[in-house]
């Protein structure tokens, strides 16, 4: 019977049996030292354990073995993003996309990396693609809506933020951004007040929502 050490390691990793996972991934590498997957899995484990330097080496080794290993680029990109190395992260997320990593995550994180560098216009198409691929992910749709607001594309932002409030009625950030959108780009004062009030009702510590609510209210006096 052939033992699949990577499968055993992933099962142990998901169960938070980290020592067992490390042993399994090490066995996978020893059994197939020229295959990238064992190094990727070990890198993911080390990243989860905040062993950044070793995780980086494992991801880099995986890439030297397989330059098309999309998950290795993605894992290394996450490592850099979490350490505020946003430019390097963006390059690696782009690589992951080029090598056909499935799903919205790489597009979303590439958009976030570009946002962190204040490259908002460059971030837009990637965030839009993430929202298209994950239409029921409220965090992705919220981030896309906020980015559209940042670029003053309010008409496009409104349906994104409304969609978030439909998926998650208690999302204070979505209500806040809708309230600000209505306050600055429409005559819909009632809508602005409603969503701002919802924001600080959901999250009483949301001082900015209360502040802008009071400003909008003053216009009516």
Those residues whose C-beta lies under 8 Å from the C-beta of residue 174, and which sit 6 or more positions away, are 138, 142, 145, 161, 164, 165, 168
- In this prediction, residue 221 has a pLDDT band, given cuts at 50, 70 and 90, of low
Residue 119 clears pLDDT 90, i.e. is over it: yes
Residue-wise pLDDT tens digits, 166-175: 999 999 999 9
Residue-wise pLDDT tens digits, 42-90: 999 999 999 999 999 999 999 999 999 999 999 999 999 999 999 999 9
The reported pLDDT for the residue numbered 131 is 98
Residue-wise pLDDT tens digits, 140-180: 999 999 999 999 999 999 999 999 999 999 999 999 999 99
Rounded to whole angstroms, the Cα distance separating 39 from 168 reads 38
Residue 28 clears pLDDT 90, i.e. is over it: yes
Rg (CA), the chain: 22
**Percent of the residues in the chain that have a pLDDT greater than 70, as a whole number:** 98
The token duo for 111 is 């958009």
The reported pLDDT for the residue numbered 1 is 53
Do residues 126 and 114 lie in contact, with contact meaning Cβ atoms separated by under 8 Å?
A: yes
Residue 23 clears pLDDT 80, i.e. is over it: yes
What average pLDDT does this structure show over 200-208? 97
Taking alpha carbons only, the member of 52, 74, 51, 50 closest to residue 62 is: 74
Rounded to whole angstroms, the Cα distance separating 20 from 141 reads 38
The reported pLDDT for the residue numbered 125 is 98
Rounded to whole angstroms, the Cα distance separating 139 from 174 reads 10
Three state DSSP letters for 117-166: CCCHHHHHHHHHHHHHHCCCCHHHHHHHHHHHHHCCCHHHHHHHHHHHHH
The reported pLDDT for the residue numbered 177 is 98
Three state DSSP letters for 79-126: HHHHCCCHHHHHHHHHHHHHCCCCCCHHHHHHHHHHHHCCCHHHHHHH
What average pLDDT does this structure show over 196-209? 97
CA distances from 173 to 25, 105, 123, 196 (A): 40, 21, 20, 9
The reported pLDDT for the residue numbered 26 is 96
Taking alpha carbons only, the member of 146, 141, 55, 60 closest to residue 95 is: 60
Domains of the chain from N-terminus onward: 137-221 (1.25.40.10)
The token duo for 8 is 């055993």
- In this prediction, residue 218 has a pLDDT band, given cuts at 50, 70 and 90, of confident
The token duo for 4 is 């699949």
């Amino acid at each position: 019977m052939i033992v699949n050490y990577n499968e055993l390691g992933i099962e142990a990793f998901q169960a938070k049996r980290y020592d067992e996972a490390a042993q399994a991934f090490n066995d996978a590498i020893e059994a197939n030292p020229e295959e990238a997957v064992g190094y990727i899995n070990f890198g993911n484990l080390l990243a989860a354990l905040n062993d950044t330097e070793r995780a980086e080496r494992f991801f880099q080794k995986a890439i030297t073995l397989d330059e098309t290993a999309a998950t290795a680029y993605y894992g290394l990109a996450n490592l850099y993003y979490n350490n505020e190395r946003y430019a390097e992260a963006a390059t690696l997320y782009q690589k992951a996309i080029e090598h056909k990593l499935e799903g919205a995550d790489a597009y979303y994180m590439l958009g976030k990396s570009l946002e962190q560098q204040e490259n908002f216009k460059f971030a837009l198409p990637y965030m839009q693609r993430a929202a298209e691929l994950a239409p029921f992910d409220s965090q992705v749709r919220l981030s896309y809506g906020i980015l559209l607001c940042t670029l003053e594309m309010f008409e496009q932002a409104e349906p994104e933020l409304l969609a978030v409030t439909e998926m998650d009625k208690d999302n204070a950030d979505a209500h806040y951004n809708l309230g600000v959108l209505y306050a600055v780009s429409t005559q819909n004062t009632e809508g602005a007040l409603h969503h701002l009030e919802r924001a600080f009702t959901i999250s009483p510590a949301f001082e900015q929502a209360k502040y802008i609510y009071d400003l909008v209210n003053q216009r009516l006096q």
